[in-house]
Amino acid sequence: MYILLALIAACALGIGVHYLIPNRELRGVALVPATATAASAAIYTIMQWSGMSQTNGWLWLASIVGSLAIAAVVGVVLTRRRQTEDAEKKAALGL
């Protein structure tokens, strides 16, 4: 049940990361928080299966901070890719 705390924290902080990354109008509002939540679930589960206890601080640090880092990278990469593809399509259409 402690995994829910990690997931809620990652989702809430993921919303903050979404607003910190520029050009947020180029990506969906749920992309970064959903990525943070999914990454947090995966990291938490893998670390639990590897034998870490729920009271271990590294479990919490890795599952929350690691997921935010992954979500930030995904948000930045997808935003840059969208900008590039939009520019290419505008050039192809002569706009």
Residue 41 and residue 71 in contact, taking contact as beta carbons nearer than 8 Å: no
- Note down the domain range covering 28: 2-93
Per cent of the chain over pLDDT 70 is 100
- In this structure, how many other beta carbons lie within 10 angstroms of the beta carbon of residue 83? 12
Task: Give the burial class of 77: count Cβ atoms within 10 A of its Cβ; 0-12 exposed, 13-18 middle, 19 or more buried.
Answer: exposed
What average pLDDT does range 11-17 have in this prediction?
A: 96
Compute the distance between CA of residue 11 and CA of residue 85 in angstroms, rounded to an integer: 28
What average pLDDT does range 47-74 have in this prediction?
A: 94
What average pLDDT does range 29-43 have in this prediction?
A: 96
The total domain count for the chain is 1
pLDDT interval class at 10 (50, 70, 90): very high
Q: Is 29 in a helix, a strand, or coil?
A: coil
Encoding tokens for residue 35?
Answer: 């990525």
> Could you tell me the pTM of the whole model?
0.89
Q: Is the pLDDT of residue 2 over 90?
A: no
Nearest C-alpha neighbor of 73 from the set 11, 3, 29, 20 = 20
